[in-house]
Structure 1
Amino acid sequence: MSPVKVSLLLVLHHGVLLFLTRCCEGQSHMIGPTQPVVAMIGDDIILPCHLEPAVDAVKLTVEWSKQDLTPRFVYVRRVGVELLTEQNSLYTKRTSLSVSKLQCGDISLKLSTVKLSDAGTYKCLVPKFGAESAVQLAVGSVSSPLIELSTVKNKVVLECKSNGWYPEPQLLWLNREGKLISAEPTKTVRGSDGLYTVSSKVSVEKGHSYSFTCRVQQKSISQIKEAHIHVSGQSHMIGPTQPVVAMIGDDIILPCHLEPAVNAGDLTVEWSRNDLKPRFVYLRRDGVELLTEQNSLYTRRTSLSVSKLQCGDISLKLSTVKLSDAGTYKCHAPEFSAESVMELTVGSVSSPLIELSTVKDKVVLECESNGWYPEPQLLWLNSEGKLISAEPTKTVRGSDGLYTVSSKVSVEKGHSYSFTCRVQQKSISQIKEAHIHVSDDLFMVQSDTAVHIIVNLVLCLISVGTITSILFIIWRQEQKKTDEREMRMEEHSQREGEEKNRLKDELKNHEEDLTHIHQIIKNQNEKKKDLKNQRDKLNSLLQEDKAEMKEVTSKLKKPPKKKHEQWQDDLKKRMEEHEELLVITDKLMEATENIIIQMTERKVKLEKDTEKNRKHLKN
């Protein structure tokens, strides 16, 4: 082949390649999900959609729509601006695109707080490329089922119920091997909110043990929820094995639950004390508290947790415990002939105090502690923690039923000792202590608790004549004047200190306010700058719109006329939107400017006040 022919073929080859490249430019297409997107009510989800190959879509027109709506637009963006006026009100403040992802051709829609009505087919469109994709959204709602147990003659009836489902679910009963068992037909009710409630019952002979599973499932949203129950032929009550201990004024729980766990929401639950009339501390029948049969001593002080009842927990909450609450309580569920007995021990404690006095050549320490219940024991310990002999403990019980205990120990003067007074009550596991150190010069060091020291001193004044008495009186008068002067000076100094502290606090507050105001002014100036750029951009877009409108108007008389008229209508809408955005931007700029002026005036005033405070503090 001659060189000329080869050259011609190469030129022709490159021309064809260039032609094909030019023809393929702009043939971007839309990629969406191949399977429905599934979301639960209340979720925030993404409806995926992106251009392939990726191009910057920030300034492109992007439309998300739902054909069964009027207006149909879920989200519209033109020339980099969201057009809220064309958006369906059902989606107000619930849709958005990521600007950073738009730069990569990702025009996926974020839909917040999904509603049941959001389910359907969405269309993602970029008109410039004629590219679109359909996305199916399936909206679901689920909840865990609950199993309730009741007895009818010689049978135990289990009812499984689950509400708040969408789409309509299926309810199945399974045995412990996971195999389906026969049950009553499922009842289905759809509420005013569009959600479904399903329920079904299964009966079991008494005297046998069974394990069952209630399964509620919805395959189209891939959701399964289950509840399990074990039915024992001998249901029983579980309570505490040790006494429950509480302090006066506490809120406590008396534990009691059914084993195996069953829903006790509609069962009869009795809490009683046989030493009371009426004996009921708390009574509940068919899900209702019977206050008329309750002992008045427990009015508004007892309650059960409704949520825990569903799990078989019938523990009693007793508030503001009193000394009279101590005793034996019985927890009873008549349907199961199940009961549990427990003991409540009520206690009261306080820290002991040590007082010191001197009698001749001895130092007497007296320890006292009041407000105890049950009656406590008082012990004296030395520095090695060993018991020492002391006077017998005196015990007094007050009208409130609480005990006060006291005891004395004597110490020879001229020696150093360390002592501990311990008050304890083993039945409520409570110990309180006070410590004291007695030195040879009667110097006491206190630790852990307050030590009240009483030193009885006798001052003997012997008269040595009239002159001495007169001199003493004159000295006392002068001393009184001196004390008054010192007191006035001290009060003046105290007032000055308080004023100084007030000025310091005021200065600190002013400085914090100034920092905050500086930040506000800075932020508002940045906002003002952004709004100015936005206004300039909108003015530029309006100029382009007008130029384009002029061009369209000149072409109206030329074919295709219908296309040019449509073009003109689109331009008019776009110009209206840009003008509306411009008005909003101007208003925002005006409001921002007013805030800057107000904050600047506030800043100047604060700076003056701050400077004044600093001068006062220096003087």
Structure 2
Amino acid sequence: MMEKLLLLHIFLVCWHSLNALFTVEAPKSLYTAELGSNVTMECIFPVNGKLKFKDLSVIWEKKDEVRKDVYVLLKGKEDSGSQHSDFQGRIKMLKENLDFGQSLLQISNVKLKDAGLYYCLIEYGGADYKTISLKVQAPYRTIIQEVVSTGDKEWKLTCQSEGYPKADVIWQNGGCQDLTDKANTSYETGSDQLYRVTSTLTIKNRTRENFRCIFWNKEIQENTSADLYILDSADDVLWTESRHFVWPILIVSVLVGSVSITICIRKALFTVEVPQQLYVAEYGSNVTMECRFPVNGSLNLELLSVVWEQKRQGQLESRDVYTLRNGKALLSSQHRDYMGRAALLHKELKSGRALLQITNVKITDAGSYLCLIDYQGADYKYITLEIKASYKIINIQKTRKWNEDKFAFICQSEGFPLAEVFWQNEKNFSLSGSANTTYTLTTDGLYNVTSILIINQNMNENYSCVFWNKELNENTSAYIYSLALMSTQHGGQKSLILFIVATCVIVLVLLPALIIFQKRKSFKNCRAKKDRKGKFSPPVTDENRGYYNSQIETSYLSTVIYSGESRNVNL
């Protein structure tokens, strides 16, 4: 189990580099299986020569509220202990095909709860994965019929069947009249998750008439029908007394009724088709979704109604995107979020194509869209729209934490859906555990993701942050060069030291000059005072002039020397 978790962790961190070298492919992205049957899903991978089984790891998982291990092979050894209880005894890996780069997962006795999304992850000198969808169906093959007379020419017609997914029940009579609205249909779900559908139609004052109940499964485009016949009491007596007369009447009635009901069913089973069930659009771009309907000749626009509605996850009410009623646009019902952005391409309607175009796509446009068309019959289909906003631009900041010998590397970006952020050094060693990642929602519905990594000053390495969007299978990377930051920091420290040294040198040079200047100024002031007092002093003669000058010089030099010694002491 620990090896499996480690493999998944390495895969998530290093996917962007490994994927370029190793690719897993899925020949089919969707499988449909019938309840109780077997299904084999496949993904393929490159072998390049003879397979080294001990180097191969294969993991099949099912995505539910909690991921379930379906099959695990780690380094050539099966790990049956991790297999979820839902799949025990029903899973087989066709190992003989692994030599050819085929990972074939066989599920026997398929159950309804097996439906969902599966991951096929393979590690063999590289790692990659693909997603595969499995749908499970149970056709409504057997219909139990019952015709009961309640008296006073009232009849109760009942049809019951079991299947999956939920089916609609359509009632028709021999006159091409749709009686579905008059029927009462109920649904029950058993422990096997099958739908038990019971539909009852009550008819008054009807005799010698045939009816048909149709179990219509829209999701798998399949229908099963049963015919019911009502005979009056006279026919019952005639049937008893003269059967040879009743048989021809009954046969003709059945044949005529079958032909008329078949014509009605063609009208009732007016079908809308969707060439594409899933659309993925980039935030701010335009998207055009399509559903098709049968025209059968030239289009009569006055008979055509088209309704596009959006249903967002978690929202009870749907939003009117665009409505065309009897050939005329009904813009008054359009939701304000789509005003000026959603339009129906009318020119394509004559070709049986209802194209809805949405411009300047927003995050809130994501969801399920109903395309309902009424044109001599009615049907609808659902289309899913997913919006992505790639984390294209990553803003980088590099700062030093004051009072600490640490650096903070910051990566910030906006996008949708929510992305995970992985950090690693130049040796591809994961540092995500040391990072702090937060996110907020913008007014546009985008995720503003910020991740901060703190490292020590002595870690002279380069780093990268990876914004990994799992849902879109997309990643964006940014690189941070710590050496440049550290050299900048050290360069700043060196500049500060040079500034201090230069200042000290300047002070040492200017200080003695300033002292000499001050002493000379003081000396001149003293001499001026003595000159003023010379009137009362004995005159300076040639004999004492030399002595006087020598005394002055001695006094001056003593002062300078004393000042220099004082400066040295202070330093």
Tell whether the structures are fold-level matches, with TM greater than 0.5: no
The structure with the greater share of residues assigned to strand is 2
Q: TM (normalized to structure 2)? A: 0.35
